[in-house]
């Protein structure tokens, strides 16, 4: 895997040389647009609005629309004039309690790999963050944009997680959200029991991208059939979600959840029983 960025982490007088690697991957299915009659791929052209003519790359410039239909053009020198200090440094400005930060601020993680001579300082920072349950709040410039970011300890790694600036988050108060309502005592108790009965330990492997897998099955079927239409399978009807009696809905949900847990427990006991007999 190739590093997408190299630089250093800086806090106080400490400087740690690091390389930045993606910590996630998105396996989206890629589709090409084709002409229906002969499956010839359709390409896009850069066309000017004014006369509809195609524009070659060497005649394209970057412009900012400051008024409707009015642009100011920026060149490479203009971008260089924006003098952002430490463009190759993850500059930690504060250390804060991780639990104080709303998770909505975090959105994209990267692994930080120590480079030559940085191992000891890397480990010291990682252990200090882990022991204190802290996150380093930093600013970093990647390509042509400055980001707010958090430096976290994650097992043996330091992780740089890009963050939203405060002005980037939309205020939920602008939405038409339900105001505080007094729920009945019985409803509250049943809701708590339902949450408890559906609670389990976090297991990321348990959750799959069902849509992608189902779509891949359709693609494989069409490849095998030579592109012919496949007969659509009957889909199970969804039950109505209209809430008439909240208590009744909670009772039914609780019964299903508890029934599912009993089945799992029984299945585990059966497996253990057979394992003992086999031994």
The kind and range of the H/E element at 246 are helix 246-278
For tokens 């009965």, name the residue.
Answer: 197
Bridge-partner residues for 112, per DSSP? Answer: 20, 158
Rounded CA-CA distance 115/113 in Å is: 6
Question: What pLDDT is attached to residue 251?
Answer: 76
Domains and CATH numbers, the chain: 5-26+82-168 (2.40.290.10), 183-195+244-272 (no CATH)
160 within 8 A of 151, measured Cβ to Cβ: yes
Q: Which of 233, 252, 230 is nearest to 241 (CA)?
A: 252
Kindly write down the DSSP assignment for every residue of 97-146, as one continuous string: EGGGS-GGGEEEEEEEEE-TT-HHHHHHHHHHHHHHTEEEEEEEEETTEE
Question: What pLDDT is attached to residue 271?
Answer: 45
Averages of pLDDT over runs of 10 residues in the chain (279 residues) are: 89 90 85 91 92 94 92 84 70 93 94 93 94 94 85 95 92 82 78 82 80 82 77 65 63 75 57 49
140 within 8 A of 147, measured Cβ to Cβ: yes
Phi, psi dihedrals of residue 42, rounded to the nearest 5°: -100, 125
Structure tokens at 166: 């405060």
148 within 8 A of 164, measured Cβ to Cβ: yes
- For the beta carbon of residue 115, count every other beta carbon within 10 angstroms: 16
Question: What pLDDT is attached to residue 87?
Answer: 67
pTM of full prediction above 0.75 = no
For tokens 């204190």, name the residue.
Answer: 132
């Amino acid at each position: 895997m190739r590093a997408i960025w190299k630089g250093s982490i800086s806090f106080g007088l400490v400087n740690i040389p690091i390389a930045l690697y993606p910590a996630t991957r998105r396996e989206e299915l890629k589709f090409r647009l084709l002409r229906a009659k002969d499956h010839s791929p359709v390409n896009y052209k850069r066309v000017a609005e004014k006369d509809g003519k195609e524009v070659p790359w060497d005649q394209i410039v970057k412009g900012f629309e400051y008024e409707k239909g009015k642009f100011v053009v920026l060149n490479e020198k203009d971008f260089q004039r924006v003098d952002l200090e430490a463009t190759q440094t993850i500059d930690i400005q504060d250390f804060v309690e991780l639990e104080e930060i709303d998770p909505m601020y975090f959105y994209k993680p990267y692994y930080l790999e120590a480079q030559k001579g940085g191992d000891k300082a890397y480990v010291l920072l990682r252990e200090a963050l882990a022991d204190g349950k802290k996150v380093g709040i930093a600013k970093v410039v990647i390509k042509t944009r400055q980001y707010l970011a958090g430096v976290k300890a994650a097992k043996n790694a330091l992780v740089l997680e890009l963050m939203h600036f405060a002005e980037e988050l939309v205020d939920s108060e602008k939405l038409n959200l339900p105001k505080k309502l007094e729920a009945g005592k019985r409803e509250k108790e049943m809701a708590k029991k339902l949450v408890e009965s559906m609670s389990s330990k976090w297991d990321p492997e348990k959750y799959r991208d069902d849509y992608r897998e189902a779509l891949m099955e359709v693609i494989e079927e069409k490849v095998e059939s030579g592109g012919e239409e496949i007969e659509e399978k009957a889909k199970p009807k969804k039950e109505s979600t209209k809430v008439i009696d909240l208590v009744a809905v909670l009772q039914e949900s609780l019964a299903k959840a508890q029934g599912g847990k009993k089945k799992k427990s029984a299945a585990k006991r059966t497996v253990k029983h057979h394992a003992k007999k086999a031994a």
